A and B are shown apart, each in its own frame.
Chain A
Amino acid sequence: FKVLVLDPFTRDIIAPLLKVNELRKYGITLHLMLGADRQPISDVPAIYFVAQTEQNVKRIALDVSVPLYDTFHLNFSSPLPRPSLEELASECVKTDSISRVNKVYDQYLGFVSLEKGLFSLAQPRSYVKLNDPAAKDTDVEQAVAGMVEGIFSVLVSLGVVPIIRCPKGGAAEMVASELEKRLRDHLVTRNNLFTEASQAGGSFQRPLLCLFDRNFELAVAVQHGWTYQPLVHEMIGLNLNRVTV
């Protein structure tokens, strides 16, 4: 008997992957939202799978201090920044509840797999955020950082370090250079996330990652796929492989 606690972002990650009955197969009898009012359940381990936001960390610290559950297994969809981890630790020490936190994991799962060969970074209105003339620098940086973190999660999951190509002078270049920096910073550490994959007989050939900018790739915007799925997407709207009529 285990409780799974999610936030809207991680709920969208899990939804296309596992159905409720499949969650039961893995002992998850209850799945709840972090932001909702929840009753304490004693003698039950809780698995938290949430985004690495400050708000989430604060809420988790509160849950641990109550305590809402017996033990806490904390999983963040992307790496938890050091200051947030320290804040979580100090809050738990303050309320003398640190022993209830079993483990804290960085999961590198910050993307939504919709099909075998299709994923989404699940960043709504990202085009507007990047192209709005009134957008602040911090908003653009935040949007780019979100994309970089999502693509980095994909690369860690695949265990590959790609060669990156992009057009010059746009959002795609910003994403590409930040991603390159992120990869370089990570690869200098000895036991990095790509070591295991390369030792397990990973390919010596590096894949090619092409980042396109919709402003320059105008053909994409006017090209329409003539299959059932794009038709449904355009007529009714397709979200997380689901259609709401």
Chain B
Amino acid sequence: DLRQKQIDAVVKMLNLNSP
């Protein structure tokens, strides 16, 4: 699911975690 993968990446970014 591409949308979910993009959400996960954005959340990671907002939590200041590395990609």
Contact = CB atoms under 8 A, between A and B. Distances in A.
A13 B3 CA distance: 11
11 contacts: A2-B14, A17-B3, A18-B11, A26-B11, A26-B14, A47-B13, A47-B14, A75-B13, A113-B7, A115-B3, A116-B1
Contact of B10 (A14, A114, A115): A14
A14 B6 CA distance: 9
Looking at chain B, what size class is its interface with the partner chain? Answer: 10 to 19
Interface residues of A, number: 31
A159 B1 CA distance: 11
A209 to B, nearest CB: 13
A198 B13 CA distance: 23
A75 B19 CA distance: 10
A18 B2 contact: no
B2 A105 contact: no
A30 interface: no
Contact of A73 (B9, B10, B16): B16
A150 interface: no
